[in-house]
Structure 1
């Protein structure tokens, strides 16, 4: 499904985070949102994930204004979105149980994934083998290991697998590799591209412009309280239309 924010505004009290921001992601597309720390990238992802409502504007799935729906209908859309935060939050349980958590809490499952349940988790109540999702991030062999024994990079890979296991329509990633070494970063980036190839729309908020170049089909530049540029990634980095985007990419704007 296509997910879009249209002219959204968000403020916390008197502090304006952004205003008039629009962004969309289509199935099988990776969109990167780059910008300095504190500019509002995480806030935008929370709006897209339906954790928070915009103060103005629209969050639309397949053209439907989701915040105009009942709580029950809105929950149906929220369940079609996966989100991976900057820091993995895993339970004191096996890697497999952590990876299967998203499937367990989404019962009863939509028709489109019910028949896949056995393949993903292989057991009652989502407690069996989340094999495919863990294989995507290279951790299938650690399925029986306690998640608390993992390295930080491995834990983040499990968090990614947990979001991927229930086959979301859209995957939102908030600085997913900011504290990871090159090896774990490469695994996550490969998993992002695999998700795109499966038809999942991906939005990744990152301050790593090299990462945006590697994985994103389109890139949005967020500065101040607005998105000042959004285009194909190559165009944004090589021929941006907004001079501020050029200066930010070249490191000439300090925030």
Structure 2
């Protein structure tokens, strides 16, 4: 489980959220919805252990990341993958981009090979590219890809090292239906592998399609978290209902 408990985050005098709590289990997809500028990306960065909270705890498994020694926190951070809204690929081939996450880790963990049934890095790269439908592009230069293909490579790069948790920040923003469908199928593959997935999206229909549970982020925190069907059909909080119906305008 990756969880944030009573987390507060601010930038200077600007309070982004206060006393926020969310969690995702392995093999579960948590959707995070809310208007632009409400703090979805900040929440993902906090869960990714790249942003220390002002208060509260962020834990992976039983380990409180920010109470741990720096080396232990780095080890935890390496177990969390993140895909950003805009793909950032290196000046290299598609295969080398996907392999990057494996190379920067200190070793090729046996648990990855066991989990995926793979023997070496090239197999992991091919397997991840197959998930996003880009095995035929492995030797091509990343600069030759379309925007949708580049985003699919970013997903494959994060999937290749078999993270415990995968955080996706508006992963299909501005993508066409074909690339969106591929990414959503890849999310299902990550779930099937036992990875906990958090998807922050402004597309509420996407949250309905892919998420097991949904967290609604409004104002300075999460208004409610619950099973996807209940959140969309019978929310407990009136603010959630108004946001989903379009009555609550930001």
TM-score > 0.5 by shorter chain: yes
Q: Which range, TM-score by smaller chain?
A: over 0.9
1:251 offset after TM fit, Å? 0.6
What whole-Å deviation, never above 9, does each CA across 1:148-185 have from its counterpart, x for those lacking one?
00000000000000000001110000000011011100
SS of corresponding position for 1:240: coil
Q: Which of 193, 198, 203 does residue 198 from structure 1 map onto?
A: 193
1:8 offset after TM fit, Å? 0.1
Q: Which of 167, 175, 198 does residue 172 from structure 1 map onto?
A: 167
Does the CA-based 8 Å contact 2:91-2:142 persist in structure 1?
yes
Q: Tell me the residue number matched to 1:35.
A: 34
| Gaps in structure 2 of 5+ consecutive residues | none
Does the CA-based 8 Å contact 1:3-1:25 persist in structure 2?
yes
* Counterpart Cα distance in 1 of 2:110 and 2:58: 25
Does the CA-based 8 Å contact 1:30-1:202 persist in structure 2?
yes
Does the CA-based 8 Å contact 1:120-1:133 persist in structure 2?
no
Q: Tell me the residue number matched to 2:17.
A: 18
* Counterpart Cα distance in 1 of 2:69 and 2:150: 35
Q: Tell me the residue number matched to 2:55.
A: 56
Q: Which of 206, 211, 223 does residue 211 from structure 1 map onto?
A: 206
Does the CA-based 8 Å contact 2:113-2:120 persist in structure 1?
no
104-113 or 138-147, which deviates more: 104-113
- Alignment partner of 1:121 is 2:116: no
Q: Tell me the residue number matched to 2:217.
A: 222
1:119 offset after TM fit, Å? 4.1
Normalised by the length of structure 2, the TM-score is: 0.96
* Counterpart Cα distance in 2 of 1:111 and 1:60: 24
Normalised by the length of structure 1, the TM-score is: 0.95
* Counterpart Cα distance in 2 of 1:110 and 1:119: 10
Aligned residues between the structures: 248
* Counterpart Cα distance in 2 of 1:110 and 1:186: 31
* Counterpart Cα distance in 1 of 2:60 and 2:154: 24
* Counterpart Cα distance in 2 of 1:190 and 1:114: 22
1:207 offset after TM fit, Å? 0.5
CA RMSD of aligned residues (A): 1.2
SS of corresponding position for 2:89: coil
| Gaps in structure 1 of 5+ consecutive residues | 123-128
